[in-house]
Structure 1
Amino acid sequence: MKIVNINILLFFSLSIFFSSCGKAERSNSNNKFSNLEKSKILSQDLLNLDSDTLKSSYQMEIKVPDNNDNEVLMSEVIDSVWYLKLGEIPNDIISDWISEIEIHDERIYLMDGQKNEVYIFDFSGDFLFSKNVSGQGPGEFIRASSFAIDSYNNQLVIHDDRLSKVLYYTLDGEFIKEQRVYYRFLDFAYLNSSMSAVDLNKSDNNHLEEIRNNQLAIVDTTWKVIAKGGSYNATNEQDFYFTGKVFSKKGEEVFYLRPFSNIVYSFQQNKLTPYCYIDFGNQTLPHDTNFNFKMASDFAEEYSNYSYIVGNAYFLSDVTYFEHYYGGGRTAHLFRSNTTGKLFHGKINNDIYSLGFFQASTAIPEKNVLVSYTSSEQVYANRKMILESGTGGEALIDMVSNTESTDNPVLIFYKLKTDF
């Protein structure tokens, strides 16, 4: 009997939950997207990005060792850790689930995945402003599904999947305009001042035959689809909805990883170019992997002898980092020096007595920093153990001593070593 890790079941359960939410809207799709003018939604000359991804040369190739159960000491790869308590918000508090974090121009933008609202803090943790659920009228939204920072036009852009529109704000929160969209998607990232990459993933777009079997699109400023990629069989696979964050950035360069694949692409001249090949050897998922599952445990058991990635790697200035699943749902981490090519790979051993290595939420590439978060409840629950152990550093002890269970979450910054 194979044992399936409870953490991956939780991730799968959440993903299936959101998929179910999406299915609940499918019965209304015809009404939601009625009277479509395809000429305004899809380019007449719709490019197929998949035709440009057949190159065999990569800027980076990573052969993942088989020693998934090896231990990686945090002290081997992490130079320092510090913490940032998110400050008080008037008459509000952020939930334990931060679904997205972006750091731009010394500000922290994050989305509460439970409340579906966006909060902005400065780099001291002080609250600046928020964009809250407000309604269904012009300039209002009922569910922040995703957001992005348009650094080219200095705008905060929020997507509401329920109302099928995107809302534009200045970086100080002043409303500018909104734009209707006629397809569903999960996330997006700006490629330049006039184009964005859109993670369609396995969203229900059966009303648009041209893109219903695609997980990726490039759109213009009116959200017209001008290119598509990441083909899959929506009829058989749409029910299996498990993904991480597929976009990552390094400066102005945007990277894309299709979930369960092992090739990372960069967008060059608005086309996909193979960038990094991640080789799992005999543990690489087969090309004919079956995604026609309804239960996460069934997939984990069927492919328990394989390794796979569901979210993008982080390409920092001096280090490349990613995590992958193996053995039916266990997690392994890999750190690669971009200078020497040396790898650290396996399970994380928290030997520096930080709050632990949690799943990275974002990064500051130029500073070789990964950013995660933890809830104030978890910090408070471990307060006595941490304070009495006498092993925590000054920053950890100070933060734990001043955190109550009713505070907002705490961000954790991991500065990686660059000389391993």
Structure 2
Amino acid sequence: MKFKPKFLSLLFLFYILFTSCDKIANSTRSNKFSDIDVNKVLSQNLTDLDSLGQAVSFQMEIKVPENNENEILMSDVIDSVWYVKLGDIPNDLLTDWARGLKFHKDRIFLMDGQKNEVFVFGIKGEHLYSLNAKGEGPGEFTRASSIAIDPFRDQLVVHDDRLSKLLYYTLQGEFIREHRVAYRFNDFEYVNDSIIAVDLNKTYNDHILEISNNQLVLVDTTWKVLAKGGAYNAAQEQKLFFTGDVFSRKGKELFYLRPFTYDIYRIDQDNLTPYCRIDFGNRTLPEETNFNFSEARDFWEEYPDYSYMVGNAHFLDDITYFEHLYEGSKTSHLFRSNNTGKLFHGRVNNDIYSLGFFQISTIIPEKNVLVSYLSSEEIYAKKKVILESNTASETLREMVSSTESTDNPVLIFYRLKTDY
């Protein structure tokens, strides 16, 4: 059974549609930042990150093989697979679009990308509590746009882009405070106890000219902008807006990749340090790539012979993993041993008969584990075939036999081999 990127493509296209509609609505809305004092939002010594970290030396350089259609056997790169069913939620049910999946202090935090609400589970999948959209008053939000864990204060932070504010909670879900923010953004991660990396992506921030053409800013805990980077031409590039997760964490290290580029940087306090360069050779997008398209399909037709990354690589202790797009929305995967440099690259063949190899949502670096998820509807649709199979593992059979189409999604854990 070969992996087919149908799920990724649908999610990818839905995200394009969702963000495009959101941008149109916001571009026609009255300026909600009209009362903002820009001088209080920007540091007087605003650093340009793009002028820093331009050393030619990277700790890791990966030459990607030409053949994207090469077959990777899951048994070649994966040591074991196990599953965690997300438990029942009182009077509620998750959709199959989990975003912002995070692990911290034996808890699983995720944002439902369709409901725009936050759900918290125990490490075995038991539901602990939910943060539901309520309203526009103090301590309330209308939609969760992104979430982050502040590991230095053990807090869950929820961003509501529509109301332009952040809400802070204890890990037990108790509301602490809220903070209004003066610009739009897509995602955020804590660099340390005083600096936060913020992915502006290609959101509209025309009210602050200094950052209106940037995709990355570093801010302090009052959300004042200290540094900016990821420069782009907003006038031409805001039409085409699709991306993956641009941040990747390994312990205390935080990495950043600007979508459609190939150099990955580690964020060090107020600097970008070159870390990994991805080399696609002749399939590297031209330096002056045209992003002035209103539809992703038009971009794919313009650049059919190129490979590009829209999300960051995952740096585990022993393995580096990433996926990239080619020929439009086709997906190719790469696994690299950090010990030997050996590569596995291409399409994934599910020869070990797991639930498949789907879009990776997060990682557990020290355990060399990738984590994905799958809706119960898709699992239920395969139930009969799996239960009648002689090759399915007993763990998989037990999990599938107790899964109904109305259950919550299942998390899939892939422990990678480290000896190739």
What range describes the TM-score normalised by the shorter chain of this pair?
over 0.9
User: Are 2:374 and 1:374 equivalent residues in the alignment?
Assistant: yes
- For each residue in 1:287-326, what CA deviation from the matched residue of structure 2 results, as whole angstroms up to 9, or x when unmatched? 1110001111111111110100000000000000000011
Which structure 2 residues correspond to residues 3-402 of structure 1 after superposition, within 5 A?
A: 8=9, 11-30=12-31, 32-402=32-402
Amino acid of the structure 1 residue aligned with 2:164? S
Contact kept in structure 2, 1:9 and 1:297, CA below 8 Å: no
Q: TM-score with structure 1 length normalisation?
A: 0.97
Q: Supply the distance in 1 between the matched residues of 2:291 and 2:417 (Cα, whole angstroms).
A: 38
5+ residue gaps, structure 1: none
Deviation at 1:91, TM superposition (A): 1.0
Contact kept in structure 1, 2:97 and 2:113, CA below 8 Å: yes
- For each residue in 1:346-380, what CA deviation from the matched residue of structure 2 results, as whole angstroms up to 9, or x when unmatched? 00000000000001000000100000000001111
Amino acid of the structure 1 residue aligned with 2:15? L
Deviation at 1:207, TM superposition (A): 1.0
Q: Supply the distance in 2 between the matched residues of 1:375 and 1:9 (Cα, whole angstroms).
A: 13
- For each residue in 1:240-270, what CA deviation from the matched residue of structure 2 results, as whole angstroms up to 9, or x when unmatched? 1010000010001000000000111001232
Amino acid of the structure 1 residue aligned with 2:334? L
Deviation at 1:13, TM superposition (A): 4.6
Question: In angstroms, what is the RMSD of aligned CA positions?
Answer: 1.2
Distance 1:10 1:84, change over 3 A: closer
Q: Supply the distance in 2 between the matched residues of 1:215 and 1:241 (Cα, whole angstroms).
A: 12
Contact kept in structure 2, 1:29 and 1:207, CA below 8 Å: no
Contact kept in structure 2, 1:191 and 1:270, CA below 8 Å: no
5+ residue gaps, structure 2: none
Distance 1:172 1:183, change over 3 A: same
- For each residue in 1:50-108, what CA deviation from the matched residue of structure 2 results, as whole angstroms up to 9, or x when unmatched? 00032110010000000111000000000000000001111111111112200112110
Q: Flag as ranges the 4+ runs of structure 1 deviating above 2 A.
A: 5-10
- For each residue in 1:196-238, what CA deviation from the matched residue of structure 2 results, as whole angstroms up to 9, or x when unmatched? 0000000011111111100000011111111100000000111
Q: Supply the distance in 1 between the matched residues of 2:38 and 2:245 (Cα, whole angstroms).
A: 29
Amino acid of the structure 1 residue aligned with 2:287? H
Q: Supply the distance in 2 between the matched residues of 1:271 and 1:138 (Cα, whole angstroms).
A: 35
Deviation at 1:114, TM superposition (A): 0.8
Contact kept in structure 1, 2:100 and 2:148, CA below 8 Å: no
Contact kept in structure 1, 2:284 and 2:308, CA below 8 Å: yes
Deviation at 1:400, TM superposition (A): 0.3
Q: Supply the distance in 2 between the matched residues of 1:231 and 1:29 (Cα, whole angstroms).
A: 26
Match of 1:419 in 2: 419
Amino acid of the structure 2 residue aligned with 1:374? L
Deviation at 1:153, TM superposition (A): 0.8
Deviation at 1:110, TM superposition (A): 0.5
Q: Secondary structure at the match of 1:385?
A: helix
Q: Secondary structure at the match of 1:210?
A: helix
Contact kept in structure 2, 1:216 and 1:229, CA below 8 Å: yes
Distance 1:336 1:383, change over 3 A: same
Deviation at 1:329, TM superposition (A): 2.2
Q: TM-score with structure 2 length normalisation?
A: 0.97
- For each residue in 1:21-66, what CA deviation from the matched residue of structure 2 results, as whole angstroms up to 9, or x when unmatched? 1221122242x11122112211111111000032110010000000
Q: Supply the distance in 2 between the matched residues of 1:16 and 1:272 (Cα, whole angstroms).
A: 32
Deviation at 1:10, TM superposition (A): 5.4
Q: Secondary structure at the match of 1:65?
A: coil
Deviation at 1:20, TM superposition (A): 2.2
Q: Supply the distance in 1 between the matched residues of 2:112 and 2:121 (Cα, whole angstroms).
A: 13
Q: Supply the distance in 1 between the matched residues of 2:11 and 2:318 (Cα, whole angstroms).
A: 32
Amino acid of the structure 2 residue aligned with 1:34? S
Contact kept in structure 1, 2:246 and 2:312, CA below 8 Å: yes
- For each residue in 1:156-210, what CA deviation from the matched residue of structure 2 results, as whole angstroms up to 9, or x when unmatched? 0000000000000111111111000010000000001111000000001111111
Deviation at 1:328, TM superposition (A): 2.5
Distance 1:344 1:87, change over 3 A: same
Q: Supply the distance in 1 between the matched residues of 2:320 and 2:277 (Cα, whole angstroms).
A: 12
Q: Supply the distance in 2 between the matched residues of 1:237 and 1:327 (Cα, whole angstroms).
A: 21
Q: Supply the distance in 2 between the matched residues of 1:155 and 1:25 (Cα, whole angstroms).
A: 29
